[in-house]
Amino acid sequence: MSSALENEKILQFLPFSSVISSSFWHKLTQMKIDVYALNDEPVEITGYYTNQSTSSRLPACLNVDYSSFDNPQVSDIGSNGILCKGLLQNTNTLEAFKDINKQNAINKCGEQIWNDILSGAALSNPGLLTRFLLLTFADLKKYQFYYWFAFPTLVFPSKIILNEEPKELNKVLSNEEILQFQQAYDEFKASHGQSAFVVVKNPELGYKCHPLKEMVNLKDITWIGFCDPSSLPTNPGWPLRNLLALLAHHHKEHLVGLSVLCWRDGVRDGQRRVGSSLLIEIKDVIYPTESDSIPKCLGWEKNERGKLGARMVNLSNSMNPERLVESAVDLNLKLMKWRLLPELNLDLIQNTKCLLLGAGTLGCYVARTLMAWGVRHITFIDNGRVSYSNPVRQSLFGFDNCLNGGQPKAESAANSLRQIFPGMISRGIDLRIPMPGHYVTDTEEVEKDVQLLADAIDEHDVVFLLTDTRESRWLPSMLSAYRGKLAINAALGFDTYLVMRHGQREPWNPGQVQSEKSKGVMRGALAGRQLGCYFCNDVVAPGDSTKDRTLDQQCTVTRPGISLIASGLAVELMVSVLQHPQGGNASAEISTDAMTTVQQQQQQEMDNKEAINISPLGVVPHSIRGFLHRHQQVLPATEAFFNCTACSPLVIQRYAEKGYAFLAEVFNNADVLEQVSGLADLHKDIASIEDWDYPEESEGSTD
């Protein structure tokens, strides 16, 4: 207002602020692909605004949404919506977007408005005065949208001078008068539905609203009214500017001294509020000095930094399918947390890195179940290739993966995970796990493999033992114990399965060797660190795979459903451990009722607050042994064996001291393990006991 003389108030208008519904961008994307293709000619769209702002902090919003492309009716946008015409120009490149001559574009629109004023069309339909332009460039690869709105307004008259600040309606009229006018307006709205009108107050008949085109026949005009999108206490909205241009052309004589009603028709707390409508009295009007045939036009919207410029919005969060699937996966798991298990820590699961040794039947199902729990980091280790017999049992492979000699299984499974869910961070390592008793010919190669495996175990939090032989589990079992990782083991028989967690202790630390001998605990619970590993129950070293020892070890011939059951249990066991307040040290009941549901468990928990053996998901067993032929499952827990060939301090200490040299010995001769672990001595002891104690039975029952 620097140019204003003293005592002179220039009327200032509040421009529209663009509001784009996210659905507008969805629809634009669809139209670009299906309809516009490379056509970048301007197309007509429809926007809307209202004169029922709920807050004076809100700008005067001009909205576009999904209905903008379909020629909407007032009924589509709510009863107080006012439709306005717009032109959308969607360019094919960012350069084209930048190169559009913005001044020409808005001038062209201004010319159209001016022609509607000259022809009188705008008198019959004042809606023609409020138009907008929208330039867009849609970068559909990055889901970035560049856009710039213009709300063209004619600078004619160039200035409106006021006597005094605009007044609020409820300070000028009584409540009764306001109600009377409200009725008159509602009648007008119902019959004409126009956004600008002439108000005449007859001393006897009260208020009446007339359409603008009748103005020429009316005497004693009280106000010119328009639906005002502004909610500011002193400033009218943008539509008044072109309305005044219309009046200045057709009814110049009325303009000085004219009263304008800025009609604001809102609802708050279920009540209609019109009192903040403004009355503006025009004292004087200044016209442009240049005598151009068409008045100057302006109205490009300023960006969020208050500068004339385009805006950009990145919608990859709501439009990029990869982001969408990620949030859908998360939300699905959150439902479980919200509805059933508020204590569930989903982040902990999501951040757990899982190493799967074996990408066969068990590996595939375990990976799928981990993925369903929201685990994002999965690495497979396998040295096989996908063969024709695999895909029907191994759920991450298809026929194509078997062709041309078959793809490497580890890598193929890792790729498959990312195809199922792009949010996965999966990797395959083609590696043969060195085994005790399998004579090493290429020492360098095997040493490298050991290092690779040790590094992989180091980088992950949980190690799943899912290979098809018993002896291939020895090295990872030993390394997991050495590094203090949680190891979950699943092994199958023909119709039996074993799923177990290895006792989890701190990473090996020579200063703190816990060489506890078995205490022979037979009742109560065992802490996680006291629990045994897969090899603890064995009294011979792994290495001899020619003889079947137990059903568990006949891995390749199994009832097909068994692997799903065992894989599911393996993952659920891991999740239960993770959710337990003590994690891997969660204690396991030596005997537990296996038939407990979550609900019963919660009830028990209520009954017994001291039930420390329970995670939010229930008990955390040491091992789960199932027998399908009787559909039976038991949950035995066993103590770590002091002479275990995999997890005993004696073996680990030897590895810690001698490293690969010790392993090389073991690979070449499994008997070394029995000597180191003390099993050999035990064998001798047992032999002497047998000789001494049971001389008569020695001939009888032998298996």
The residues in 314-333 that bind another protein, with binding defined as CB under 8 A, are 314-318, 324, 327-328, 331-332
User: Should residue 93 be labelled a site residue for another protein when binding is judged by CB under 8 A?
Assistant: no
Task: Out of 112, 125, 158, 545, point to the residue binding another protein (CB under 8 A).
Answer: 158
**φ and ψ at residue 73, rounded to 5 degrees:** -100, 165
Q: Which of 227, 262, 354, 555 is catalytic?
A: 555
- Closest Cα partner for 526 from 435, 590, 455? 590
If you write DSSP's letter for every residue of 518-543 in order, what string do you get? P----SSEE-GGGB--TTTT-SS-S-
User: Should residue 307 be labelled a site residue for another protein when binding is judged by CB under 8 A?
Assistant: yes
Q: Strand 60-64 and strand 16-20: pairing?
A: parallel
Query: How far, in Å, CA of 137 to CA of 146, rounded?
Result: 5
- In this chain, which stretch among 299-307, 435-443, 570-578, 588-596 interacts with another protein, using CB under 8 A? 299-307
Q: Taking a C-beta distance cutoff of 8 angstroms, is the pair 350, 447 a contact?
A: no
Residues from 656 through 695 that contact another protein (CB under 8 A): none
Q: Taking a C-beta distance cutoff of 8 angstroms, is the pair 64, 21 a contact?
A: yes
Q: Which is nearer to another protein, 53 or 677 (CB)?
A: 53
Residue 573: which residues within 8 A CB-CB, separation 6 or more?
A: 488, 499, 500, 501, 620, 621, 624
User: Should residue 345 be labelled a site residue for another protein when binding is judged by CB under 8 A?
Assistant: no
Task: Out of 37, 338, 556, 690, point to the residue binding another protein (CB under 8 A).
Answer: 338
User: Should residue 7 be labelled a site residue for another protein when binding is judged by CB under 8 A?
Assistant: no
Q: Which parts of 123-227 are beta strand (E)?
A: 131-139, 144-154, 159-162, 167-168, 196-202, 206-210, 223-227
Residues from 99 through 138 that contact another protein (CB under 8 A): 99-104, 106
Q: Taking a C-beta distance cutoff of 8 angstroms, is the pair 247, 258 a contact?
A: yes
Task: Number of residues interacting with another protein: please give it, by CB under 8 A.
Answer: 91
Q: How far is CA 272 from the centre of its chain?
A: 40
User: Should residue 206 be labelled a site residue for another protein when binding is judged by CB under 8 A?
Assistant: no
- In this chain, which stretch among 121-129, 246-254, 313-321, 613-621 interacts with another protein, using CB under 8 A? 313-321
> Could you give the C-alpha distances from 106 to 32, 83, 111, 151, 297, in angstroms and in order?
23, 20, 9, 8, 7
Least Å distance between CB 142 and another protein?
A: 10
Cα angle value 666/672/673 (rounded, 5°): 80
Least Å distance between CB 152 and another protein?
A: 11
- Closest Cα partner for 156 from 255, 232, 234? 255
Q: Which is nearer to another protein, 233 or 659 (CB)?
A: 233
User: Should residue 232 be labelled a site residue for another protein when binding is judged by CB under 8 A?
Assistant: yes
Query: How far, in Å, CA of 552 to CA of 116, rounded?
Result: 88
Least Å distance between CB 15 and another protein?
A: 5
Q: Taking a C-beta distance cutoff of 8 angstroms, is the pair 431, 447 a contact?
A: no
Residues from 47 through 86 that contact another protein (CB under 8 A): 52-55, 57-61, 63, 66, 75-80
User: Should residue 421 be labelled a site residue for another protein when binding is judged by CB under 8 A?
Assistant: no
The token pair that represents 5 in the structure block: 């003389």
Least Å distance between CB 350 and another protein?
A: 16
DSSP class of residue 138? E
Least Å distance between CB 41 and another protein?
A: 18
Query: How far, in Å, CA of 239 to CA of 703, rounded?
Result: 98
Q: Which is nearer to another protein, 70 or 690 (CB)?
A: 70
Residues from 17 through 46 that contact another protein (CB under 8 A): 17-26
Least Å distance between CB 420 and another protein?
A: 19
Least Å distance between CB 230 and another protein?
A: 9
Task: Out of 33, 118, 256, 267, point to the residue binding another protein (CB under 8 A).
Answer: 267
Least Å distance between CB 209 and another protein?
A: 18
- Closest Cα partner for 496 from 539, 571, 555, 542? 555
Q: Is 209 a catalytic residue?
A: no
Residues from 367 through 386 that contact another protein (CB under 8 A): none
The token pair that represents 306 in the structure block: 């208050």
Task: Out of 271, 289, 512, 546, point to the residue binding another protein (CB under 8 A).
Answer: 271
User: Should residue 289 be labelled a site residue for another protein when binding is judged by CB under 8 A?
Assistant: no
The token pair that represents 701 in the structure block: 């029952």
Q: Which is nearer to another protein, 135 or 663 (CB)?
A: 135
Task: Out of 298, 348, 440, 656, point to the residue binding another protein (CB under 8 A).
Answer: 298
Checking 69-77 for CB contacts under 8 A at 24+ apart, the result is 69/27, 69/28, 69/31, 69/45, 71/46, 72/46, 72/48, 74/193, 77/48
Task: Out of 68, 130, 194, 235, point to the residue binding another protein (CB under 8 A).
Answer: 235
The SS3 assignment for 340 reads: coil
User: Should residue 98 be labelled a site residue for another protein when binding is judged by CB under 8 A?
Assistant: yes
Task: Out of 220, 291, 342, 607, point to the residue binding another protein (CB under 8 A).
Answer: 342
Q: Which is nearer to another protein, 121 or 335 (CB)?
A: 335
Q: Which is nearer to another protein, 52 or 592 (CB)?
A: 52
Helix or strand run (H / E) with residue 444: helix 443-459
Q: Strand 43-50 and strand 81-91: pairing?
A: antiparallel
- In this chain, which stretch among 155-163, 193-201, 219-227, 457-465 interacts with another protein, using CB under 8 A? 155-163
Least Å distance between CB 200 and another protein?
A: 25
User: Should residue 313 be labelled a site residue for another protein when binding is judged by CB under 8 A?
Assistant: yes
Task: Out of 269, 607, 610, 693, point to the residue binding another protein (CB under 8 A).
Answer: 269
User: Should residue 432 be labelled a site residue for another protein when binding is judged by CB under 8 A?
Assistant: no
Least Å distance between CB 329 and another protein?
A: 10
Q: Taking a C-beta distance cutoff of 8 angstroms, is the pair 231, 58 a contact?
A: yes
Tell me the catalytic residues. 555
